[in-house]
Structures are given as C-alpha cells and as structure tokens.
Amino acid sequence: MIRALHALTAEPWAIRPDYLHFMAGVAGMDREARAANAESEGETWRKRDLAAIIGAFAGPTVRRMDGARYAMVTDAGIAILPVFGPIFPRANVMTEYSGGTSVAMLQNDYRLAVAAADIHAVMLLIDSPGGAVSGINAFADLVYQGRSSKFTLAHVSGTAASAAYWIGASASEFVTEKTGILGSIGVVAAIPKQVEPDGSGEVVIEVVSSNAPNKRPDPTTDEGLGEIRTMLDALEAQFIADVARARGVTATKVKEEFGAGGVKIGPQAVAAGMADKVQSYDASYRQLARLASNRKRAAALK
C-alpha cells in the first residue's frame, strides 16, 4: 500500500487526504483481490445501475442521455450529471474500483447536454472528495462558458471538496444541502524519497542529467522543497483564479474567507460566499423543472 500511495501522491491532487489512502489501498491490491473486493462490496461503478441511482433523485422515467457515459435525462428536459466519488482524468481501473468519475467523460457529457435541443437545463449532482488536478481547469472552463447558453445548477448532495468544488463553483448557481461539505481549496503532492533499504534490502538511487536538477527535486532540502511548492502554488493560483472568476469575487477573498484549505458546512459556506443558497434536492429539481418548462414554451412560440 505504501508504494501505491507514493505512486498516487507523486502527482498533484485536489482531494481530501483521507481519500488518497483509500485509493492507495485499492491500487495496492492485485487484480484478483480487486475483483474479489468488487464482488463482495457490489459497489464498483461498472456494476452500479446508474439509472436507479439517479432515478432515486429524479423519478423512474429518467433515461441515459444519448451518447453519454454518466448523464441522465428526465422527462422535464433536465440533464443530470453525477459527479460522484474520486475524480480521475480518464476512465481507468481506478475509476472502476473506487466508484469514481472520469473528468474526460464528464466533459463529453456536458458538451452533449449543452448542444441538445431537447435539454433545457443541466444539474451537476455533486458528492465527491475531489481528485487529480489534470483536466479540472478545462472542465471548469467548459462549465463556466456553457452556463451562458444553458443554465447549469450545481447541487451538493454530500461533499464538494477540492476538485469537485472547483467544478461546482463554475456553475450558474451553486447550492448545497444543509449538511453539505464544501471547500478544501488547495493542491497537494507527496514526493517519495527512499532513505533506507526496502524489504528486499535494495535502495533505489536516481541520478539525473547535469542540466535537469529540478527533474527530481529532493523534498528533504530547502531547494527541493521550494521547487515542489512553486509548482503546487502555481496550480493553486489557477484553482483560486477560477473560483474567484466564477463566484464574482477577488482572489484575496477566496484565500482569506473560503476556508484556507479547510471546509465549511452548508450555511457557513453560503455565508462566506462559497455557495449561493441552502436548499434540498427537491427544491433544486423543481427550480430547474420550472425553468425548463418556461424555455419549452418560449421555444414553441418562435
């Protein structure tokens, strides 16, 4: 598990730290163990009935959107995109076995929803601890641009942390349940450095070329730590800039009042300006249904 955790944390993540350990446990299993775990738990994304999950929220007539991986469509003309579990850049074995979501697939689904004439509003249904940084800025940009042509409401049913908050903040409106957990703005990476022999008695020593000392920065030195933090700060700056743009506030406000890397619970998040209001899923759905109905009538009059 330690080796798997090192492999995961060697790249930047915008995620709650406890989930990195969970995913490392999954990654550390061999193929047979993962399969056995999937059978015993019955909770892999591959085996879930997504229609039933979304149907529990939106009703029994919900159907999968044509060409979509995750998005479902209701009779009211609302596309619901579930942002559940850890977020990965692409669909892979970790997405399957951790119950996670591929941001590349989310992008495709959102584009389809925005382009579809029979879809009049979009809901991002969020319950996620965050995920890898890769691809999140692009999807946040897509949502921010798409909201001008198709109203997009982000509803936090559980958690919208780190990368999930980054995405949700870009919607037309950002709402949360009373017990929603929002924030965890920041980026983390854990760089492994072997200081003693492993179980086989071996020590791996990396030697880099003369003109690339920063290719393998040493986190135990001030210079190496500074190099790593510079990279993380640059990613965090983009995170903060995207949130500030979408929420209509300054970067300074995001840094000082949006939790400083911590999280806030529903009403606290709204009071800080991190979200727009506290409301139930039913209220969010009714809001979008009214909007969709109005747009249908307006389209019929043209």
In this structure, are residues 130 and 95 in contact, taking their beta carbons and an 8 Å threshold?
no
Residues in the chain with pLDDT values less than 70? 1-11, 13, 17-60, 90-99, 204
Q: What is the pLDDT of residue 225?
A: 87
What 289-294 contacts at long range (C-beta under 8 Å, 24+ apart), as own/partner pairs, is: 289/76, 289/78, 291/120, 291/121, 291/151, 292/76, 292/77, 292/78, 292/120, 292/121, 293/76
pLDDT tens figures, 176-187 = 999 999 999 999
In this structure, are residues 32 and 78 in contact, taking their beta carbons and an 8 Å threshold?
no
Cα maximum dimension of the chain: 77
Closest CA to 23 of 115, 110, 129: 129
CATH of the domain at 133: 3.90.226.10
- Number of domains the chain is built from: 1
What gap in Å lies between CA 163 and CA 13, rounded to an integer? 8
Q: What is the pLDDT of residue 221?
A: 87
Computed over every residue of the chain, the mean pLDDT equals 83
Six-digit token string for 103: 């941001």
- Note down the domain range covering 142: 2-301
State whether residue 272 is helix, strand or coil. Answer: helix
Label the pairing between strands 78-84 and 72-73: antiparallel
% of the chain beyond a pLDDT of 70: 77
* Integer angstrom CA distances of residue 33 from 8, 28, 29, 269, 273: 19, 9, 6, 40, 44
**Residue 206 CB: number of other CB atoms within 10 A?**
9
Six-digit token string for 273: 């300006």
Residue 290 identity: R
What gap in Å lies between CA 56 and CA 100, rounded to an integer? 19
* pTM of this structure: 0.83
Six-digit token string for 46: 């591959």
pLDDT tens figures, 199-222 = 777 776 777 788 888 878 888 888
Q: What is the pLDDT of residue 1?
A: 44
The C-alpha angle with vertex 161 and arms to 135 and 126, in degrees rounded to 5, equals 80
Q: What is the pLDDT of residue 89?
A: 84
What 52-56 contacts at long range (C-beta under 8 Å, 24+ apart), as own/partner pairs, is: 53/82, 54/80, 54/82, 54/125
The C-alpha angle with vertex 68 and arms to 39 and 72, in degrees rounded to 5, equals 80
DSSP letter at 150 equals S
